[in-house]
Structure 1
């Protein structure tokens, strides 16, 4: 077996961002684990002994032969690149050849390894070898050892040759938290790998392999269930044939965070920091989440290596990315597509916990009745809070191709407030006001119009701040006598409303243009308590499910509750055998 680890030429070394990359337990784990992944490992076990300043990483990767082991810890020695041109074709997680050499300058390093493609009795590479390296990376001791194919790296007496570093490290619990975060980030980028982390010989972290990042996330993030997530993969053949976007989002009506700590970006199987792209994600979820809540979003970009420069930071946590604006547009479109209701998300398991609680409560509050007669209930008339003769132009009564394709059928209106909708997987209960609010809000954002009004609205005793606020959102307003202002333009949707005067006063209270658009949509939407015909409800449902963000209203409230047919079957005991249920 030919050796593959080579010392990089000096001209390549000068092109590399050199630096001390070993500054904590987490950094040691990161560098060793990345080497295991580059070796093709599918099982990685990490052993931590913080009080003894010792770390061990074992994997079942391809291993190293006798010759490679002798040079593994030499400065700038690596099997992953060989010349300057390779810096623009990075396919591996490591490439600088610094990590193992840096460890020999800070600690005692031992590597045991055996190649996977060897067989007993062939040559010197038919068995494993244990190598102990001296300070500086030279081979100090080497001996044959019995072991399975793979590699075991042991770092002992960490920072023993630079004890001042130990004084500046965080306490043990903080270091362990950093290790946990490192493992989780790397595991999400490599979900097919089995991970174990042992702390002082006790199993601490254990994740099973999964098909995708989204399937693995519930093992890592507590209280997130598979039904709370939606995965999407988009091929980007228009830019480069090998590029694609893989996206995992927490559906905004049931999965969000107090902090923006789970907006994560990975590029070519490595988590990176990219403030511009993270802001793009946050902006894409604008007006879909409750106030002061943030999305769960994992984004993986598979990009041709020639469009990336990893040589920005020694930890490789930051990159230079070509054509940043293009990727911002693609990410925004991917999130918009993932938030829609379509054939891919229609039959998903949704709102599992909420539906389960409803069923449990219903079972406790209701008992089976023996009477088979249907009791008639006298009807009572309910006055609607707001009456409408016909819905506005935003609800044209016409069929939708999308509605016909996916079969969304309005069944009834409940309490003049909720619309019962049948779909192939079960039923939806849709709150009519906020569904219409979502429809109007997106229409307003797409076509914000201020129209003249005659005669002008006369407002009394507005403060200077109120006047400036109306001017800030574009309304034409001017003095009209003492302590009076004349408003000569208003949002188009408010012009014909009898409460336009009150709406403009609300808009003067503060907020940016987006907040004003939300306020206009909220005031213009049909009110709960309004009776709608089947045709009007059908049109509203068709328009609602075609919106970009149909799961929540602009304030972040959930618009619909989905009850799957499987849940209905469970509640009505349809799995019972008829004979047994009758006592036969």
Structure 2
């Protein structure tokens, strides 16, 4: 079906937010690339001559007929909406019909285009009013080539106010990366003059695209999950996240939210993403995550800001809840997602001898719970610090203290409980800030004498501990309730150097696997090291032919 470019009715123009602002090279690239994506392009080539204020964008999209080319650069002309009702049913990246008209006013604009249904293409050059000034036939492949030359030539003050060329190119790169992440199926080629600059190959999902954009990120460090919404067939949620024990950053610069192919600024959902990683990352580190919502047009109001990066999202609470659930699901060690054993029997044979020496005694026990299905089987304890476990894909080393810390922390968060103390614990020489901190955490603290304080309640996990006094002093030194819960879990967890029996090791593994965030402790340290069977096979040269490895032919 061919869509015609037509002027918008004046009442629709008045209903729209202020038009597009072409104020930089990056804005030009954004507008032209969005048009290419709306045209169904799967390959986009961008050429930049920053010193000449020139941009060219080529695509293999649907192309335009001569009739459409005549209309394309006139004000408020578009093929994407027709009337005011269409403002509630926007399915394209652009819809206001002002970008090409603005470019015609600010530069020398030329478009070459050919629909796949026609044998020849057309070249049209436009004047400052967006009228076709030159028209001629050209031989080109199906698609569109738009050239913007001498940008801001008649607006010298705009040129003078722009950042340096290097900064503008950085902004262009950001625009391309943002759109490329949302459209991984598109191949991108970007050139500075005649020199190749950025090349991004087509990918099936953002999981394969993100490592092309972020240096140091590998596909194995990422996990993706897709969830169809229960309230609408056409609505879905895609979440890509860096596993917190492997992938995080110093700044929240890769916490991104997209809706229907465009990155947007939605602080509520961005905070939901950050909250989902709380107490899973090291201090002052931020997650790598990309949330892409595919929604019905009626659920979004794009007509909020000229750049269309700020939107009104209906049912925001509903999507916040679904995002939180998706993060929780993605961070779990889900047995259903574990592949079937490949050669785990061979791994068990190699290290079976370790089991015979695992008869240990324990000073601090782990309370057994109900038996749970486990993909890990405890085999031995290494240096009274690590649990060696057999896994369907190889072997895992699990650090016992921080694994238990994760278990206790989530139990404490779910069931934070203060018990009365009888007799009270006496603390000396507390500052007023320390007293207020303990009271802020809900503990009952009373003046008992000169610089003497009586603490009459305590977190349940600390109630029977011999180091209760030290624990209370630690809690008094600052932090919110969550910090106190982390400190309580850390102090209560089984210590490294404590021997465990096989039963106790298995109980800990079972409990740990069922936690919500099993990959890291509440301080952000990784809990386990995976030794994959495939890596073991390569190391031990199990692919060698025995005869040849012995020098026999």
Alignment TM class, shorter chain as reference: over 0.9
Render the CA deviation track for 1:406-460: whole Å, top value 9, x for unaligned: x321111111110011111111100000000000000111111111011111111
Matched, 1:323 2:298: no
Distance 2:84 2:24 in 1: 30
- Alignment map for 1:117-516 (pairs within 5 Å): 117-118=117-118, 126-237=119-230, 239-343=231-335, 346-347=338-339, 387-388=363-364, 390-392=365-367, 395-396=368-369, 398-400=370-372, 402-403=373-374, 407-516=375-484
The ranges of structure 1 where at least 4 consecutive aligned residues each deviate by more than 2 angstroms after the TM superposition are: 343-348, 379-382
Distance 1:494 1:133, change over 3 A: same
Cα RMSD over matched residues? Answer: 1.8
1:161 is displaced (CA, Å) by 2.1
Render the CA deviation track for 1:172-219: whole Å, top value 9, x for unaligned: 000000101110110111111110000011000001000001111111
- Bigger mean CA deviation after superposition, 529-538 or 55-64: 529-538
Distance 2:55 2:147 in 1: 6
Secondary structure of the structure 2 residue equivalent to 1:257: coil
**Equivalent residue number for residue 518 of structure 1:** 486
Distance 1:31 1:304 in 2: 23
Distance 1:258 1:345 in 2: 30
**Equivalent residue number for residue 27 of structure 1:** 27
Distance 2:243 2:456 in 1: 41
Distance 1:483 1:271, change over 3 A: same
Secondary structure of the structure 2 residue equivalent to 1:205: strand
On the 8 A contact 1:285/1:295 being kept in 2, the answer is yes
On the 8 A contact 2:405/2:493 being kept in 1, the answer is yes
Distance 1:90 1:344, change over 3 A: farther
Render the CA deviation track for 1:452-492: whole Å, top value 9, x for unaligned: 01111111111111101100111000011121101111000
Secondary structure of the structure 1 residue equivalent to 2:450: coil
1:380 is displaced (CA, Å) by 13
| Aligned match for 1:572, one of 536, 540, 546 | 540
1:19 is displaced (CA, Å) by 2.8
Distance 2:246 2:2 in 1: 55
Distance 1:14 1:525 in 2: 64
Distance 2:180 2:237 in 1: 18
**Equivalent residue number for residue 49 of structure 1:** 49
TM-score, length-normalised on structure 1? 0.90
1:228 is displaced (CA, Å) by 0.4
1:580 is displaced (CA, Å) by 1.0
1:381 is displaced (CA, Å) by 12
Distance 1:312 1:24 in 2: 21
TM-score, length-normalised on structure 2? 0.95
1:136 is displaced (CA, Å) by 1.4
On the 8 A contact 1:109/1:153 being kept in 2, the answer is yes
Secondary structure of the structure 1 residue equivalent to 2:282: coil
**Equivalent residue number for residue 107 of structure 2:** 107
Render the CA deviation track for 1:17-49: whole Å, top value 9, x for unaligned: 123421110100000001001111111000000
On the 8 A contact 1:230/1:345 being kept in 2, the answer is no
**Equivalent residue number for residue 345 of structure 2:** none
Distance 1:444 1:495 in 2: 13
1:343 is displaced (CA, Å) by 3.7
1:555 is displaced (CA, Å) by 0.2
Secondary structure of the structure 1 residue equivalent to 2:144: strand
Distance 1:539 1:148 in 2: 66
**Equivalent residue number for residue 6 of structure 2:** 6
Render the CA deviation track for 1:487-524: whole Å, top value 9, x for unaligned: 11100010011111110011001111100000000011
Distance 1:235 1:545 in 2: 26
Distance 1:391 1:294 in 2: 32
On the 8 A contact 1:3/1:67 being kept in 2, the answer is no
Distance 1:66 1:240 in 2: 40
Distance 1:381 1:234, change over 3 A: closer
On the 8 A contact 2:358/2:502 being kept in 1, the answer is no
Distance 1:193 1:537, change over 3 A: same
Distance 1:555 1:166 in 2: 49
Distance 1:344 1:82, change over 3 A: farther
Secondary structure of the structure 2 residue equivalent to 1:14: helix
1:243 is displaced (CA, Å) by 1.2
Any stretches of 5+ residues in structure 1 without a counterpart? Answer: 119-125, 349-374
Count matched residues.
538
- Bigger mean CA deviation after superposition, 528-537 or 66-75: 528-537
On the 8 A contact 2:236/2:295 being kept in 1, the answer is yes
Distance 1:504 1:241 in 2: 53
- Bigger mean CA deviation after superposition, 338-347 or 30-39: 338-347
